[in-house]
Amino acid sequence: MAKIIAVTNQKGGVAKTTTCNALISGLSRMGYKVLGIDLDPQGSLGFSLGINIEEGITLYDVFKGKATITDAIRPIDCGHFIPSNILLSTAELEFNHSGREFLLTEAIKDIKNIYDYIVIDTPPALNILTVNAYVCADHLIIPMIPEILSLLGISQIKDTIENVKRYYNPKLDLTCILLTKYNKRASLTKEVCDMTEAIASQLGTRVADTVIRNSVAVAEAPAHGLGLLDYAPKSNACVDYYNFIKELIQGGL
Ligand SMILES: Nc1ncnc2c1ncn2[C@@H]1O[C@H](COP(=O)(O)OP(=O)(O)OP(=O)(O)O)[C@@H](O)[C@H]1O
Ligand SMILES: [Mg+2]
């Protein structure tokens, strides 16, 4: 049965999609069978993996009951992928029936046993799509940029995670906070370290030992439609992501 990892933070631009891409390509390079799922109507993860997200069946069609989950799966270099595009942005209004928190859980229930890992990207919001990811996931990873302003305002995500755990998914494990886009020149100040540790303890989790450094290759990779760890495995960020995946696996994930 697949372990399901969702990458989440309601803040934009903190490297959620980049982290999903790295997890998908890294786990696949390690020999695991991986399915990526994009729950973000921006569709960036599919695009960065070289998929034409404007054509073909997407997760929206599955949620609408117009296609089966198997029809929505696309082969990629590093496994399988289910894309989304802007159509999914109507989810909040369109899917207003009871049980709408379980759309994704229901959709993937028959394919879970095919994979070792399922990696879910989420939008920069706390909405029904994010809740669907939390309801379905075993593990949550929260990327954060190690800058004071970027670290502010986590109470909302804390409430959402607590509600999901209370009502829908008690086994949800908030695995770690991952510091990303780390710039060596702006060293990790004591204030940032203290604040990140404080956030982790408020959320009842830990800060990953591995920190992901800034790399130009990360910005270049999406244009090539390749998994990040296939495109530039020697770049600082990819070395860090590889170490992060090893840290996760050693930690029991
Ligand atoms: N380690 C890194 N080094 C350099 N640039 C990075 C790194 N990680 C992410 N970026 C860049 O930061 C930007 C935001 O990254 P990404 O799209 O992964 O964030 P996100 O949290 O998914 O954003 P959104 O909230 O809009 O979905 C992108 O341009 C990406 O290329
Ligand atoms: Mg994103």
pLDDT in tens, 62-107: 999 999 999 999 999 999 999 999 999 999 899 999 999 999 999 9
CB 19 within 8 A of CB 120: no
pLDDT above 90 coverage of the chain, percent: 91
The chain-wide mean pLDDT, for the chain, equals 95
CB atoms within 10 A of CB 195: 18
In a domain, 96, yes or no: yes
Distance 36 CA to ligand 1 centre (A): 17
Residue whose tokens read 């073909």: 56
The answer to whether the CB of 124 is under 6 A from ligand 1 is yes
What per-residue confidence (pLDDT) applies to 148?
87
Query: For a substitution probing ligand 1, which of 8, 18, 38, 236 has the most ligand atoms within 8 Å of its CB?
Result: 18
pLDDT digits 0-9 by tens, 100-126: 999 999 999 999 999 999 999 999 999
Q: Is the pLDDT of residue 57 over 80?
A: yes
Query: For a substitution probing ligand 1, which of 144, 218, 236 has the most ligand atoms within 8 Å of its CB?
Result: 218
Host domain of residue 40? 3-247
CB 140 within 8 A of CB 173: yes
pLDDT digits 0-9 by tens, 196-233: 999 999 999 999 999 999 999 999 999 999 999 999 99
Q: E strands of 39-195, at which residues?
A: 74-76, 79-82, 117-121, 139-144, 173-179
The answer to whether the CB of 10 is under 6 A from ligand 1 is no
Q: For the chain, how many structural domains are there in total? A: 1
Q: Which residue has the higher pLDDT, 151 or 245?
A: 245
In a domain, 242, yes or no: yes
In a domain, 125, yes or no: yes
Instruction: In whole angstroms, give the CA distance from residue 147 to residue 11.
Output: 13
In a domain, 80, yes or no: yes
Q: What is the mean pLDDT of residues 153-160?
A: 89
**CATH code, 137:** 3.40.50.300
In a domain, 253, yes or no: no
pLDDT band at 55 (very low <50, low <70, confident <90, very high): very high
What per-residue confidence (pLDDT) applies to 183?
87
What per-residue confidence (pLDDT) applies to 150?
84
Distance 246 CA to ligand 2 centre (A): 23
Q: What is the mean pLDDT of residues 132-161?
A: 93
Output the CA–CA distances (angstroms, integers) from residue 14 to 125, 151, 162, 203, 204, in the order listed. 12, 10, 22, 18, 20
Q: Is the pLDDT of residue 145 over 90?
A: yes
Instruction: In whole angstroms, give the CA distance from residue 149 to residue 15.
Output: 16
Outline where 139-189 has alpha helix (H).
148-151, 155-167
In a domain, 226, yes or no: yes
Q: What is the mean pLDDT of residues 236-246?
A: 98
Which residue has the least CA distance to atom 29 on ligand 1?
Answer: 219
- Return the bridge partners of 75, or none: 80
**Element containing residue 18 per DSSP (H, E):** helix 16-29
In a domain, 252, yes or no: no
In a domain, 26, yes or no: yes
Distance 50 CA to ligand 1 centre (A): 17
Instruction: In whole angstroms, give the CA distance from residue 101 to residue 54.
Output: 25
